[in-house]
Structure 1
Amino acid sequence: MTLYPINTGNFKLDGGAMFGVVPKSIWQRTNPSDANNMIDLSARCLLIEDGDRLILIDNGMGNKQSDKFFGYYYMWGDFNLDSSLKQYGFHRDDITDVFLTHLHFDHCGGSIQWNKDKTGYEPAFKNAHFWTNEDHWQWATQPNRREKASFLKENILPMEESGQLKFTAVPENDLLKNSALGFDIFFANGHTDKQMIPMIRYQDKTIAFMADLLPTVGHIPLPYVMGYDTRPLLTMNEKEKFLNMAADKNLYLFLEHDAHNEIITVQHTEKGVRLKDTFTTRQIFNN
């Protein structure tokens, strides 16, 4: 197995929204903001090469939305999906599976693109299955008013229409062992219903792709919960359980949204679970 970081683009969001009730005087110590109160974020995805499978976990915002739409997110940097794949000798047509932690636009927007004459949409990965779970699919296709702006139908419905959509099993508890894609999945419901956190066994390590359960290093303390979360108290409980497990088992946490920290480990302290070490993906993946 070989792992590759795939940066699909950097953007900015309001720091207050990203930290909920935590005062700016505290969160800006780890996530400094600009003059507009915006903080740096990334859409760092993960590519897994395992035998004849090439699995991409999440794929960023894509490029089919309007300039006005992207203007809200202050895109920055030179990264995109295709250039990141090319860096490692791959093309999107090589992808066999696209695993989506959840269906918010910044995680799944790259799944679907305009067709050639821009009269409709088509899969951006023509040879891949798109993986979600049935509970989250229903949640996203019948969205509540709070999340409706994050579940864009043009990102989601064409997956089903293409015939390339597949569902993972949903466990009775919060952990699915040895999923159809070969890795374990932790299910979390605080951010959105049935968000999936893949846990990949790599050499002598376990890499956990943290998605929106832990957006940045600054979100490690339990009360530091995004304003975007639908059930913030549940997020706190899920973070506590997962971070305790991560400290106990020395998991390596791959941060999708932290623009400046790629992989971390955590440890138990008198103040609770806190940051232990920070690594680059090159240090861990050796590429």
Structure 2
Amino acid sequence: MNLYSIDAGNFKLDGGAMFGVVPKTFWNKWSPADENNLCTWKMRCLLIEQGNQLILVDTGMGDKQDAKWQSYYYRHGEGNLINSIRKAGFSEKDITDVILSHLHFDHCGGAVQWNNNRTNYESTFGNAKYWTHSAHLDWALNPNMREKATFFKENILPLQEAGQLFCIDKDQATFENIDFLLADGHTEKMLMPKIQYKNQTILFVADTIPSAGHIPVPYVMGYDVRPLQTMEEKTQILTQAAEEKWVLYFDHDPIHDCARVVSTEKGFKLEEAFPLSILG
């Protein structure tokens, strides 16, 4: 097995929204805000090369939406989903499976693209099976008022119409060395791939802990539909991660791919942060 960190670009979100009720005087030290109170975040995906499978976890937001919509999120940086995959030595056609942790636009938007004539949408990875959870798929297609602005049907329906969208809890999915934890705090049935790699456990922690700055249990995003449940899920994950020395892989940390945590009298703390490549 080989793992590759995939950079799908940077964007900006409101710092207060990203840290919920935590005062800015605390989180601004970790994620400095600009004059508009916006902080920079990474859209970090993960590529898993294993046997005859090439598995991509998440796809960033893509570039289907118009320039006005894109401007709301201040896309910046050199990161690009397809270029990053090619830099790792692969092409779009090589991807066999795409695991979508959840269907918020910044995690699944790159799953679908315009065709060459910009007349219709098509799947970005034509040879791949795309995986979600059936309860989350229903949640996304029938969105609640809180999440309606982040579930876009153009990110989902073209995959269904192409016969490429599958549910990990209903359809046969065989991923050796990969299990899944489920979380319901951020959104319904978010998938968190847990990977066994070189005698280590790596957890793609998705938006339960989007960055190293979110390790303290109370640091919960305002976007979460069930923030108290997120805190419970974080506590369970961090307890096991500290005890068993798991590697946490962050999807939104602007700098750090990975981290390990420790448990202290004052709560969970960052032990060390490091690039994925250091794992070999």
TM-score scaled to structure 1, two decimals?
0.95
Q: Where does residue 180 of structure 1 map in the other structure?
A: 174
- The one-letter amino acid paired with 2:21 is V
What's 2:271 paired with?
276
* Structure 2 gap segments, 5+ residues each: none
- Residue aligned with 2:207, SS: coil
Decide whether the 8 Å contact of 2:258 with 2:274 is kept in 1.
Answer: yes
**For each residue in 1:207-256, what CA deviation from the matched residue of structure 2 results, as whole angstroms up to 9, or x when unmatched?**
11111010111111111110000000110001111110111111000111
CA–CA separation in structure 2 for the residues paired with 1:179 and 1:60: 23
SS of match in other structure, 1:7 = strand
Q: CA separation in 1, counterparts of 2:201 and 2:215?
A: 19
3-state SS of the aligned residue for 2:208?
coil
Quote the residue 2:21 is aligned against: 21
Structure 1 unaligned blocks of 5 or more: 171-177
Q: Structure 2: which amino acid aligns with 1:109?
A: G
Q: Which residue of 1 aligns with 2:74?
A: 74
How many Å separate the matches in 1 of 2:151 and 2:18?
A: 18
1:37: Cα distance to partner? Answer: 0.8
User: Could you tell me how far apart the structure 2 residues matched to 1:152 and 1:230 are?
Assistant: 17
What is the deviation of 1:179? 6.0
| Aligned match of 1:5 | 5
- What do you get for the CA RMSD once the two structures are aligned? 1.2
Q: CA deviation at 1:116?
A: 2.1
Secondary structure of the corresponding residue to residue 226 of structure 1: coil
Letter in 2 for 1:149: A
Residue 250 (structure 1) aligned to one of 245, 248, 251: 245
Is 2:5–2:257's contact at 8 Å kept on the other side of the alignment? no
1:129-148 matched pairs, under 5 angstroms:
129-148=129-148
Q: Secondary structure at the match of 1:86?
A: helix
Separation in structure 2 between the aligned mates of residue 278 and residue 117 of structure 1, nearest angstrom: 43
Name the % identity: 51
Aligned to 1:267: 262
SS in 1 for 2:206: coil
Contact 1:208–1:253 (CA<8 Å) still a contact in 2? yes
Q: Hey, what's the Cα distance between the residues in 1 that align with 2:175 and 2:9?
A: 25
Note closer, same or farther for the CA distance 1:179–1:238 as it changes in structure 2 (3 Å cut): farther
**8 Å CA contact 1:168, 1:180 repeated in 2:** no
Give aligned pairs, total.
Answer: 278
Q: Helix, strand or coil: the match of 1:45?
A: strand
CA contact (8 A) 2:257 2:275 kept: yes
The one-letter code matched in structure 1 to 2:226 is: R
Runs of 4+ in 1 over 4 A off after TM superposition: none
CA distance in 2, matches of 1:258, 1:103: 19
Q: Equivalent residue of 1:197, what SS?
A: strand
Letter paired with 1:19: F
Per the normalisation by structure 2, the TM-score is 0.97
1:10-30 residue CA offsets vs partner (Å, 9 max, x unmatched): 111110000111111111111
Q: 2:120 & 2:145 partners in 1: Cα distance?
A: 26
Q: Is the 8 A contact 1:191 1:235 kept in 2?
A: yes
Q: Distance in 2 between matches of 1:218 and 1:85?
A: 27
**What is the identity, as a one-letter code, of the residue corresponding to 2:246?**
L
1:132-281 correspondence to structure 2 within 5 Å: 132-169=132-169, 180-182=174-176, 183-281=178-276
Cα distance, 1:223–1:216 mapped onto 2, change above 3 Å: same
Cα shift at 1:261 = 1.4
Letter of the 2:106 partner, please give it: D
| Counterpart residue number, 1:174 | none
- What amino acid does structure 1 have at the position aligned with 2:219? Y
**1:180 shift after superposition:** 2.7
What pairs up with 1:101-140 in 2 under 5 angstroms?
A: 101-140=101-140
